[in-house]
Amino acid sequence: QSALTQPPSASGSPGQSVTISCTGTSSDLGGYKYVSWYQQHPDKAPKLMIYEVSKRPSGVPDRFSGSKSGNTASLTVSGLQADDEADYYCSSYAGSNIVVFGGGTKLTVL
């Protein structure tokens, strides 16, 4: 049960797009279409932003999109806004009813 790999930080200016990667293995992220992304503001509980690779829950802006290729998933935030500044975590099913998270990426809006 190894954690997924995310870059520690990412940044972009307001209005720009930024993409955060999440890398696993063929035993977890690469083997299933069950990748999720969560947004966490400081001292707040995480919020589901993307599930099953690219689906958005009701209420999540379409500026947030997800994709996957091989063992790497990506979260793209378009039209960056100040409130998008937060920590972002990916997660994936890893078989045998196990879920693994990435280490998190701190997104800074410049």
Partner 1 sequence: EVHLVESGGGLLQPGRSLRLSCVASGFRFNDYAIHWVRQAPGKGLEWVSGISWGSGTIAYADSVRGRFTISRDNAKNSLYLQMNSVRGEDTALYYCVKSSGWYYFDSWGQGTLVTVSS
Please report, as ranges, the residues that interact with partner 1 according to CB under 8 A: 1, 3, 32, 34, 36, 38, 40, 45-48, 51-52, 57, 89, 91-93, 96-104
Q: Which is nearer to partner 1, 13 or 97 (CB)?
A: 97
Q: Closest distance between partner 1 and the C-beta of residue 74, in Å? A: 17
Q: Which is nearer to partner 1, 13 or 58 (CB)?
A: 58
**Residue-by-residue DSSP string for the chain:** -PPBB--SEEEE-TT--EEEEEE--TTTGGG-S-EEEEEE-TTS--EEEEBTTTB--TT--TTEEEEEETTEEEEEE-S--GGG-EEEEEEEE-STT-EEEB--EEEEE-
Q: Which is nearer to partner 1, 15 or 65 (CB)?
A: 65
